[in-house]
């Protein structure tokens, strides 16, 4: 097993009468991408905030190993319009940043041309890349990304996920991210944790997709007729990368067969 | 007369040079109401200073800093919305100050001077307070510029990156408290916040970076003081309000004239 970075031990969070999270256990490793999925209000963001130390857990504890350095990419960036701020200055705010690292990092996330732009005029996708750059400048071994593709069109989303994957391989860092759409992140994810106040199920994307708890929350893949998702009859099984797996078709709850 | 004017000018510039840059933070963090609350309570400091027979400047600084600490503590408890809390504190402190002042039969207080400021009444001791307090605030502002700005831009990112967020927030509030206590002499309880906010708001139109905006706010504040004093000298207008009117005029000019921003 690779190096452990942080552990959530039996986390429970309560706001007044409302139990937001209970009995959450999770371990994050170097080099591993973990995706959190769950419906709105399921406590995904709260869980991430707990890991970051922005939210105190009511019960349980967060273990952050000594060598842990987190790069955090928040869901969105609101900067008061009265504050003039260029991309370069925004990135210069990272604690202990070496100014020389700013340009290469902007190159890495693909927005070197925006170095002197005001942060207020960036598009959704550019803002996400800027936030990713800021997270990277903290020299993290764990990237924590709260819905990294928010406000980005579908092709841009795929690009961003690929970029995150490239960065993960380059830095060999762990990644914990929140996503709404399992299908988009499947190829880049090692472990999926589906939560709704508690951990409903977790495992490889394939495993989670077929899990009854996942299907109860997100519906059976392809079964929702309001979304005309193309589905075809399976007579073979794909692995994560799309290769045909040479084994008999194992029937699980995930393989609902549909007519064309 | 000339000496009086010079002293007023030096004092006014000392205050404006600090109030401007700090005012930028007040604008960015939407702390205007917080500033008002501290300013209103400063009058209570004056009354207490007389009652306890201690240095007035000292009494005001202590009261403003104390109130800032109380506010931070109360805010954490989330008893009521912050603006409501500020409203309650601001006006009860001001009223309490006015009531307390009315009990002071043996001393005659020029209430108008405290409410609207009297730049021409600045003494040599006041100058020491202004420049002592100003230098302290300025050096702290420069030393902690990056953490203060990081906190202003995004508190959560700052916290995750390891900035001591709580301490920095407290520092900013204390800086505002000190500036208000010191500036009170110049523009008075009711007008202090304007000296922080108006130059900063004007400066926004003319700047591309936070440093530009903060330093330009200081310069614009100083110009307002010069203009206000000049008007006051020529037309015998009240100095405090003249300074504020001058700052407001600069604001109007900056936002109506077609000044091209270099992007």
Residue environment code for B19-55, b if the CB has 16+ CB neighbours within 10 A, otherwise e: bbbbbbbbbbbebbbbbbbbbbbbbbbbbbbbeeeee
DSSP state string for B132-192: HHHHHHHHHHHHTHHHHHHHHH-HHHHHHTT--HHHHHHHHHHHHHHHHHHHHHHH-TTTH
Least confident of A68-77, A144-153, A206-215, A245-254: A245-254
End-to-end CA distance of chain A: give it in Å, rounded.
43
pLDDT in tens, B53-112: 888 888 888 888 888 888 888 877 777 888 888 888 888 988 988 888 888 777 677 778
Q: Which of B149, B204, B207 sits opposite A93 (nearest CB)?
A: B149
pLDDT at residue A158, as a whole number: 85
What mean pLDDT value characterizes chain B? Answer: 88
Q: What is the CATH number of the domain that holds B70?
A: 1.10.3470.10
What mean pLDDT value characterizes chain A? Answer: 81
Would B139 be classed as within a structural domain?
yes
% of chain B at pLDDT higher than 70: 97
Under an 8 A CB cutoff, do B209 and A84 touch? yes
Higher-confidence position of B239 and A247 = B239
Å between B212 CA and nearest CA of chain A: 9
pLDDT in tens, B167-216: 999 999 899 988 988 888 777 888 888 999 999 999 999 999 999 999 99
Confidence grade of residue A259 (pLDDT, cut at 50, 70, 90): very low
Q: A1: helix, coil or strand?
A: coil
Residues 150-169 of B with CB under 8 A from A: 150, 152-154, 156-163
Domain ranges of chain A: 1-69+140-219, 82-137
Write out the two tokens for B30: 């939407």
pLDDT in tens, A7-55: 888 888 888 888 888 888 888 988 889 999 888 888 888 899 999 988 8
Residues of B in contact with A141 (CB under 8 A): none
- Taking each helix axis as running N to C, give the angle between helix B165-187 and helix B124-143, from 0 to 180 degrees, rounded to the nearest 10: 150
> Can you list the pairs that B224-228 forms with residues at least 24 positions away whose Cβ atoms lie under 8 Å?
B224/B16, B224/B195, B224/B198, B224/B199, B224/B250, B225/B9, B225/B12, B225/B13, B225/B15, B225/B16, B225/B119, B225/B186, B226/B9, B226/B12, B226/B13, B228/B12, B228/B119
On whether any CB of chain A is under 8 Å from the CB of B227, the answer is no
Under an 8 A CB cutoff, do B146 and A93 touch? yes
- Cβ-Cβ contacts under 8 Å for B69 (sequence gap 6 or more): B170
On whether any CB of chain B is under 8 Å from the CB of A54, the answer is yes
Q: Which of A70, A72, A82 sits opposite B27 (nearest CB)?
A: A82
Strands A244-245 and A237-238: antiparallel
List the single best residue of B153, B166, B199 to mutate versus A (max A Cβ within 10 A). Answer: B153
Q: Which of B29, B161, B208 sits opposite A95 (nearest CB)?
A: B161
Give me the helices (H) in chain A, please. Answer: 44-52, 87-91, 102-108, 124-137, 154-171, 182-185, 205-209, 212-218
Write out the two tokens for A52: 């970051």
pLDDT in tens, A112-166: 999 999 999 998 889 999 999 999 998 898 999 998 888 788 888 888 888 888 8
DSSP type of residue A7: E
> Measured between alpha carbons, how far is A133 from A114 in angstroms, rounded to an integer?
12
Under an 8 A CB cutoff, do A52 and B30 touch? no
Full residue range of the structural domain in which residue B72 is found? 2-192
Confidence grade of residue A240 (pLDDT, cut at 50, 70, 90): low
Would B239 be classed as within a structural domain?
no
Q: Which of B147, B160, B263 sits opposite A70 (nearest CB)?
A: B160
List the single best residue of B24, B25, B150, B157 to mutate versus A (max A Cβ within 10 A). Answer: B157
Confidence grade of residue A89 (pLDDT, cut at 50, 70, 90): very high
Least confident of A188-192, B19-23, B241-245: A188-192
Q: Count of residues for chain B?
A: 263
Q: Which of A74, A79, A84 sits opposite B207 (nearest CB)?
A: A84
Residues of B in contact with A89 (CB under 8 A): 209-210
pLDDT at residue B238, as a whole number: 87
Residue A34's φ and ψ, nearest 5 degrees, are: -110, 130
Q: Which of B228, B232, B226 is nearest to B246 (CA)?
A: B228
Compute CA distances A108 → A132, B99, B138, whole Å. 10, 64, 38
DSSP type of residue B261: P
CATH no., domain A1-69+140-219: 3.40.50.300
Residues 87-116 of A with CB under 8 A from B: 89-90, 92-95
Residues of B in contact with A90 (CB under 8 A): 153
Å between A49 CA and nearest CA of chain B: 9
Mean pLDDT, range B110-120, rounded to an integer: 81
Residues of A in contact with B158 (CB under 8 A): 93, 95
Residues of A in contact with B251 (CB under 8 A): none
pTM score: 0.83
pLDDT at residue A250, as a whole number: 44
Write out the two tokens for B88: 């309650």
- Cβ-Cβ contacts under 8 Å for A137 (sequence gap 6 or more): A71, A91, A94, A97, A101, A102, A105
Write out the two tokens for A90: 């925004």
DSSP state string for A194-241: EEESEEEEEESHHHHHT-HHHHHHH-STT--TTS-------SSEE-TT
**CB-based contact B86:B138 (threshold 8 Å):** no
> Measured between alpha carbons, how far is A59 from A22 in angstroms, rounded to an integer?
8
Mean pLDDT, range A97-119, rounded to an integer: 91
Under an 8 A CB cutoff, do B210 and A90 touch? no
Q: Pick the most confident of A98-102, A227-231, B39-43, B249-253.
A: B249-253
Would B87 be classed as within a structural domain?
yes
**CB-based contact B109:B46 (threshold 8 Å):** yes
On whether any CB of chain A is under 8 Å from the CB of B215, the answer is no
% of chain A at pLDDT higher than 70: 84
- Cβ-Cβ contacts under 8 Å for A234 (sequence gap 6 or more): A249, A255, A257
Would B17 be classed as within a structural domain?
yes
Under an 8 A CB cutoff, do B156 and A52 touch? yes
Compute CA distances B53 → B57, B58, B101, B189, whole Å. 12, 11, 13, 21
Domain count, chain B: 1
User: In this structure, how many other beta carbons lie within 10 angstroms of the beta carbon of residue A45?
Assistant: 19
Å between B29 CA and nearest CA of chain A: 8
């Amino acid at each position: 097993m690779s190096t452990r970075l942080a552990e959530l031990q039996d986390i429970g969070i309560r706001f007044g009468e409302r139990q937001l999270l209970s009995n959450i256990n999770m371990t994050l490793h170097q080099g591993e991408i973990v995706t959190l999925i769950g419906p709105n209000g399921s406590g995904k963001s709260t869980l991430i905030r707990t890991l970051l130390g922005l939210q105190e857990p009511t019960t349980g504890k967060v273990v952050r190993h000594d060598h842990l350095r987190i790069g955090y990419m928040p869901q969105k960036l609101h900067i008061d319009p009265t504050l003039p701020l260029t991309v370069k200055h925004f990135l210069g705010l990272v604690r202990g940043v070496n100014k020389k690292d700013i340009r290469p990092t902007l190159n890495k996330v693909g927005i070197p041309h925006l170095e002197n732009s005001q942060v207020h005029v960036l598009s959704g996708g550019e803002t996400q890349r800027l936030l990713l750059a800021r997270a990277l400048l903290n020299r993290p071994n764990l990237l924590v990304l709260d819905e990294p593709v928010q406000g980005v069109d579908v092709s841009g989303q795929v690009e961003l996920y690929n970029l995150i994957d490239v960065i993960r391989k380059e830095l060999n860092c762990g990644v914990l991210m929140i996503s709404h759409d399992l299908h988009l992140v499947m190829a880049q994810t090692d472990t999926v944790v589906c939560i709704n106040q508690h951990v409903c199920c977790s495992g490889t994307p394939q495993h989670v997709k077929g899990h009854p708890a996942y299907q109860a929350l997100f519906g059976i893949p392809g079964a929702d007729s309001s979304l005309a998702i193309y589905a075809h009859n399976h007579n073979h099984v794909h692995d994560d990368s799309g290769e045909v797996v040479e084994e008999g078709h194992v029937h699980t709850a995930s393989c609902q067969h549909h007519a064309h | 007369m000339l000496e009086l004017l010079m002293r007023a000018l030096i004092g006014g510039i000392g205050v404006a040079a600090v109030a401007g840059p700090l005012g930028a933070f007040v604008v960015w963090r939407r702390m205007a109401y917080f500033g008002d609350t501290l300013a209103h309570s400063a009058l209570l400091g004056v009354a207490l200073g007389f009652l306890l027979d201690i240095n007035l400047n000292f009494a005001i600084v202590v009261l403003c800093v104390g109130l800032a600490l109380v506010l931070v503590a109360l805010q954490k408890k989330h008893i009521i919305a912050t603006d409501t809390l500020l409203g309650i504190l601001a006006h009860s402190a001001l009223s309490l100050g006015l009531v307390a002042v009315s009990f002071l039969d043996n001393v005659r207080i020029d209430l108008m001077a405290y409410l609207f400021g009297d730049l021409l009444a600045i003494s040599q001791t006041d100058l020491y307070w202004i420049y002592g307090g100003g230098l302290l605030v300025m050096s702290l502002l420069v030393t902690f510029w990056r953490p203060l700005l990081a906190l202003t831009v995004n508190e959560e990112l700052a916290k995750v990156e390891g900035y001591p967020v709580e301490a920095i927030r407290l520092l900013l509030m204390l800086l505002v408290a000190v500036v208000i206590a010191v500036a009170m002499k110049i523009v008075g309880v009711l007008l202090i916040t304007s000296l922080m906010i108006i130059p900063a708001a004007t400066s926004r139109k003319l700047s591309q970076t936070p440093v530009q905006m903060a330093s330009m706010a200081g310069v614009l504040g100083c110009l307002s003081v010069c203009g206000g004093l000049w008007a006051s000298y020529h037309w015998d207008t009240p100095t405090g309000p003249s300074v504020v009117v001058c700052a407001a005029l600069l604001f109007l000019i900056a936002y109506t004239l077609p000044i091209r921003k270099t992007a």
